[in-house]
Structure 1
Amino acid sequence: MRTGIELHAARVRYGPLEALHGVTLAAPAPGLTVLLGRNGSGRTTALRALAGTARLTSGAVTWDGADVTRLTAHERATRGLCFVPDGPAVFSHLTVSENLGLAGPEAAPDLTPALDAYPELRPLLHRRAGTLSGGEQRMLALSRALLTTHARVILIDEPTQGMSTSVASRTYDLLVGLSAHACVLTAEQRLPPGLRGHAGQAAVVVHELRRGEVVFSGEATELSRRRRS
């Protein structure tokens, strides 16, 4: 049985400062989970702890019920974890095509899924990634996640950073689609309209963090009702 990826009483310190204060949260598989919080809330640190790029001071990370706390970020990636950090998250000295080619082990991977999702990248394939706009670099970073065919857990920090409204809306549709067969966990400052849950759409799980602690866990529709009341 697939239970997804979880933090258990996780604490993370950066020098003398503790960023996570015993955080426990779960992201089901398959399914879509959103970590909400302002800058400094701990949402990015929570993602990094799950990805293995931030070391736990105490607590544990489990994946499908197995303890993976001691696995490195590389070991988690080889098992099917894909992490897209915030910011550009691309290899700036490589071309768009070369960046996409790093998504899989094939010598000449099929780029069709990425270019169908973001056709804006098609005329940019021979451009160096560092010359792209912020939104274009974000599309490229997410496209690499789309091409990682073995991905079982996909962690994305602020997926639509720098994107236009229309491209952001398309991106949220892509995330919903990916969550039908993978554990998708995204960090946002506020809950986007495209991830609030609609009729016929599977429930979106939300964990809201504030100052390194979870202050709400539940479904997106429940959070929306709570904030309207």
Structure 2
Amino acid sequence: MRTGIELHEARVRYGPLEVLHGVTFAAPAPGLTVLLGRNGSGRTTALRTLAGTAPLTAGAVTWDGADVTRLTAHERARRGLCFVPDGPAVFGHLTVAENLDLADPKATPDLAPALDAYPELRPLLPRRAGTLSGGEQRMLALSRALLATRARVILIDEPTQGMSPAVTSRTYDLLVGLSTHACVLIAEQRLPPGLRGHAGRTAVVVHELRRGEVVFSGEASELSRRGRP
């Protein structure tokens, strides 16, 4: 049975500073989960902990009910976890086409799903990714997630950073589509307007972090009724 990915009583320290204070939450599979929090709330650390790039001080990570706390980031990736961190999440010295090819290094991927989702990238295929604008780099990073056909868990930190409103709206539609067959967890400062109700037939799950602790867990529609941003 697929239960998604979960944090259990997670504590993470950066030197003497504890960033997560016993955080517990679950992202169901399939489904779309939004991890809300302002800068410094711990949301980025929570994603990195799930991805295996930030070690736990205490607690556990489970995936489909199995403890994966001791698995490295690349071992989790092999099992189908795709992580898109915030900021420039591309290989700047490679071309756009070469970045897309890395979505599945064992095969020649069909680039059509990525280029259909973001046609803006088509004329940029021969350019080095490091020369793209922030929004274009974000599109490229997300395109690689679209091409990762074996991805079962997709973690994305601020997916629409630097994008225009039109591309932002299109991106959330893409994420809703991915969530029909995968566990999709995105970190945002505010709940995107298009996700306040329901994503298709499935309710959007929201967990809000504040100063390293979960202060709300429920459906997006419930958060909206409370008048929260």
TM-score interval (norm. to shorter): over 0.9
Q: How many residues align?
A: 228
Instruction: Please show how residues 203-218 of structure 1 align to structure 2 within 5 Å.
Output: 203-218=203-218
**Corresponding residue of 1:24:** 24
Instruction: Please show how residues 193-208 of structure 1 align to structure 2 within 5 Å.
Output: 193-198=193-198, 200-208=200-208
- Whole-angstrom distance in 2 between the partners of 1:191 and 1:108: 36
Letter in 2 for 1:101: D
How far off its partner does 1:52 sit?
Answer: 0.2
1:167 to 1:70, Cα distance in 2 relative to 1, 3 A: same
**Corresponding residue of 1:186:** 186
SS of structure 2 residue aligned to 1:24 = strand
Q: What does the per-residue CA deviation read over 1:29-80, in whole Å, with 9 as the maximum and x for residues that have no partner? A: 0000000000000000000000000000000000000000000000000000
SS of structure 2 residue aligned to 1:48 = helix
Instruction: Please show how residues 43-122 of structure 1 align to structure 2 within 5 Å.
Output: 43-122=43-122
- Whole-angstrom distance in 2 between the partners of 1:187 and 1:78: 22
1:119 to 1:64, Cα distance in 2 relative to 1, 3 A: same
How far off its partner does 1:109 sit?
Answer: 1.2
Letter in 1 for 2:80: G
How far off its partner does 1:197 sit?
Answer: 2.1
Letter in 2 for 1:40: G
Hey, which bits of structure 1, 4+ residues long, moved more than 4 A? Answer: none
**Corresponding residue of 2:3:** 3
What is the percent sequence identity of the aligned residues?
Answer: 89
SS of structure 2 residue aligned to 1:227 = coil
SS of structure 2 residue aligned to 1:115 = helix
Q: What does the per-residue CA deviation read over 1:164-199, in whole Å, with 9 as the maximum and x for residues that have no partner? A: 000000000000000000000000000001221248
- Whole-angstrom distance in 2 between the partners of 1:175 and 1:142: 10
SS of structure 2 residue aligned to 1:76 = helix
- Whole-angstrom distance in 1 between the partners of 2:93 and 2:200: 43
Q: What does the per-residue CA deviation read over 1:73-131, in whole Å, with 9 as the maximum and x for residues that have no partner? A: 00000000000000010000000000000001344211000000000000000000000
- Please report the TM-score for the alignment, with normalisation by the length of structure 1: 0.98
- Whole-angstrom distance in 2 between the partners of 1:141 and 1:219: 28
SS of structure 1 residue aligned to 2:40 = coil
- Unaligned 5+ runs, structure 1: none
- Whole-angstrom distance in 2 between the partners of 1:212 and 1:5: 19
- Whole-angstrom distance in 2 between the partners of 1:186 and 1:167: 17
SS of structure 2 residue aligned to 1:9 = strand
Letter in 1 for 2:183: C
**Corresponding residue of 2:40:** 40
1:152 to 1:200, Cα distance in 2 relative to 1, 3 A: closer
Letter in 2 for 1:74: H
1:78 to 1:199, Cα distance in 2 relative to 1, 3 A: closer
1:65 to 1:198, Cα distance in 2 relative to 1, 3 A: closer
SS of structure 2 residue aligned to 1:92 = coil
- Please report the TM-score for the alignment, with normalisation by the length of structure 2: 0.98
1:199 to 1:187, Cα distance in 2 relative to 1, 3 A: closer
Letter in 1 for 2:39: N
**Corresponding residue of 2:159:** 159
**Corresponding residue of 2:223:** 223
